[in-house]
Amino acid sequence: MNEQSLNWFAVNTRPRWEKKIASKLSEKGFENYCPLQKKVSQWSDRKKIVYEPIFKGYVFVKVGEENKWEIKKIDGILNYVYWLGKPAVIKESEIITIKKFLKEFDDIEVEKRPLNINEKVRVREGIMMNYEGILIEVSGNKAKVRIDSMGLVLSAYFEKKNLEPAKSFN
């Protein structure tokens, strides 16, 4: 395989399947990266060291265009992470930065930043996937988003977990 034709992508996994997916990818010969951190879990009778994924629900995979869609056939992989309607390519330098960061620091937490009213958001899942709109209301786990389309204003409620800040090109 030509090394230059390989790109890093992020794939969504079933919940708590990150390490299993990384193992399956390795078995099939695909380079992958599932960033883990060491945690001490406390049970009533003992403590145990476990390795937990830092990015819950995601694994990085390095694959060429010719094998990109073969990845989705692996049980437990839900989909690629998309950007502008196609699987998002992740720079090699970003993977290297994550690896360096994990070597340097032990207790890592990944937090999603909160969404703000009047912020541009993108729908991550469902029938309106990849549509962008303006967040106009948040109520519990639901968010109301205004989507301007064909000269009409459509407002719909979405699960907050299915929304993310839209990337701006400013």
Claim to verify: residue 90 and residue 126 sit in the same structural domain:
no
Residue 95 and residue 128 in one domain: no
When pLDDT is averaged across residues 20-45 and rounded to a whole number, the result is 92
157: which residues sit within 8 A by CB, 6+ positions away?
142, 143, 144, 145
Q: Which domain holds residue 30?
A: 3-104
- Grade residue 170 by pLDDT with cuts at 50, 70 and 90: very low
The answer to whether position 110 is within a domain reads: no
Please check whether residues 146 and 62 belong to one and the same domain: no
User: Is the same domain home to 31 and 100?
Assistant: yes
Provide the domain count of the chain.
2
* Mean pLDDT of the 48-70 span: 91
Average pLDDT over every residue of 92-102: 89
Q: Please report, for the domain that includes residue 154, its CATH number.
A: 2.30.30.30
Domain co-membership, 18 together with 46: yes
CATH of the domain at 75: 3.30.70.940
Same structural domain, 69 and 150:
no
Q: Which one is predicted more confidently, 142 or 69?
A: 69
> At 119, phi and psi to the nearest 5?
-85, 145
Considering the domain architecture, whether residues 97 and 138 belong to the same structural domain is answered as: no
What pLDDT is attached to residue 51? 87
Residue 114 lies in a domain: no
Between 105 and 121, whose confidence is greater? 121
Query: Cα–chain-centroid distance for residue 85?
Result: 15
Over 80: is that where the pLDDT of 117 sits? yes
Question: Quick one: 125 and 81 in the same domain?
Answer: no
Q: Are both 88 and 128 inside the same structural domain?
A: no
